[in-house]
Amino acid sequence: MTFRTPAALLGALAGALLAASAAAQSPAPTAAAAVARPPAPVPTAAPVKPPSPEAVKQGKALLAKFIESLGGADKVRKVHDVWTRGMVTAKTDQGDMAMDVQTSMVFPDKISQQVDAPFGRMAMVATPTGAFIVGPNAVQDLPPGMKDELLRQVRRVPLLIAQKADDPRLVVAAAGTEKVGDIQAYILDVTYDGASVRWYLDPVTFRLLRSSHTSVGPQGEAKIVSDYSDYKMVEGYPIAFHLEVATNGQKDQVLALEECKINPGADAKLFEKPIFPTPAAAVPTPKPAKP
């Protein structure tokens, strides 16, 4: 069974989980597939021209409007963890596959995601100290490059960006407008602590309509575009309950959230690496005693 990198799944879900509350791009692999191939080397990026002072000024104004749409700076700072559950329908070589996905995210740098799919249950975890995949009877570490990409996905989450508005590591810049469906959306380029993403904001509500970024995984770079809709209020925060994802221009995933909880208190054990017992050696059957 062929799947894409778990970084992709976590990334898109992270966006959906908290897209507007301001969370997985492609379907998760099996544990064996995730570690069978080392992550592709990250190409040396060409020098990026810094945004103009005017673009930065306009970008900060757009970010302020976005934070306002969430209830203001004081309100967004109160969020420290989020739990969601939903169904992901992903295109695979064997046809469409439905998976139940539960995600717990603790800001600023922990994410745990459980996936129930036809091939079984697995969990993916990323924290600053490591990243791993847990199967029914085994646990496997993810390569450092994959761990780094998973943590970049967390740093792209809109709600976290909203909390970091005054952080000098956050750089935002307006980049004109572009049509998203029938809406001429504002474009906001966001970079925080090494993670970059482009947002497309509704000019009236300033909610997120679309996000776009480049993800790096075992198969190399992929452009991920996520469209957000079906906003509902959860404890005063607007949450996108519907997410459609395209990878390199091909629509390959739909997420329908069923539940979302703000500050439920994530169980610390979710982020701990489990230890599986070593199978006991077989005890030889004693030969019957001779009479």
- Would you kindly state where each structural domain of the chain is located, as residue ranges? 6-39+53-270
Average confidence (pLDDT) over 37-48: 45
Q: Is residue 290 pLDDT above 80, yes or no?
A: no
In degrees and rounded to multiples of 5, residue 245 shows phi and psi of -120, 135
Other C-beta atoms closer than 10 Å to the C-beta of 135 total 15
CATH hierarchy code of domain 6-39+53-270: 2.50.20.10
pLDDT at 288: 60
Q: Hunting for tokens 């020098």 — which residue is that?
A: 47
Q: How far apart are the first and last CA of the chain?
A: 57
Sign of the alpha-carbon torsion through 150, 152, 158, 159? positive
Q: Is residue 116 pLDDT above 80, yes or no?
A: yes
What is the band of 285 on the pLDDT scale with cuts at 50, 70, 90?
low
**Alpha-carbon distance values, 202 to 69, 211, 231, 277 (Å):** 11, 12, 13, 52
pLDDT at 44: 44
pLDDT at 122: 92
Report the alpha-carbon distance of residue 231 to residue 241 in Å, rounded.
6
Length of the chain equals 291
What percent of the chain is predicted at pLDDT more than 90? 65
- Cα angle for residues 180, 183, 187 (degrees, 5° grid): 60
Report the alpha-carbon distance of residue 115 to residue 7 in Å, rounded.
13
Token code pair at residue 127: 């924290």
pLDDT at 286: 58
pLDDT at 219: 72
What is the band of 279 on the pLDDT scale with cuts at 50, 70, 90?
low
What is the band of 289 on the pLDDT scale with cuts at 50, 70, 90?
low
CA 251 to chain centre: 17
Q: How do the residues of the chain divide into helix, strand and coil, expressed in percent and rounded to 5?
A: 20, 45, 35
pLDDT at 114: 94
Residues with Cβ within 8 Å of 255's Cβ and at least 6 positions away in sequence, in order, are: 12, 13, 16, 24, 86, 87, 88, 101, 242, 243, 244, 245
DSSP state of 95: E
Convert the pLDDT of each residue in 165-204 to its tens digit.
Answer: 999 999 999 999 999 999 999 999 999 999 999 999 999 9
Report the alpha-carbon distance of residue 177 to residue 188 in Å, rounded.
9
What is the band of 23 on the pLDDT scale with cuts at 50, 70, 90?
very low
What is the band of 27 on the pLDDT scale with cuts at 50, 70, 90?
very low
Token code pair at residue 223: 């452009």
Beta-strand ranges (E) seen in 145-269 are: 170-180, 183-192, 195-201, 208-217, 220-234, 237-247, 250-262
Average confidence (pLDDT) over 218-223: 82
Token code pair at residue 283: 């005890």
- Mapped onto helix, strand or coil, the DSSP state of residue 287 is coil
What percent of the chain is predicted at pLDDT more than 70? 78
Find residue 189's DSSP bridge partners: 173, 198
In degrees and rounded to multiples of 5, residue 253 shows phi and psi of -160, 140
Residue 28's closest CA among 8, 58, 13, 43? 8
pLDDT at 28: 36
DSSP state of 147: H
Average pLDDT over the chain reads: 82
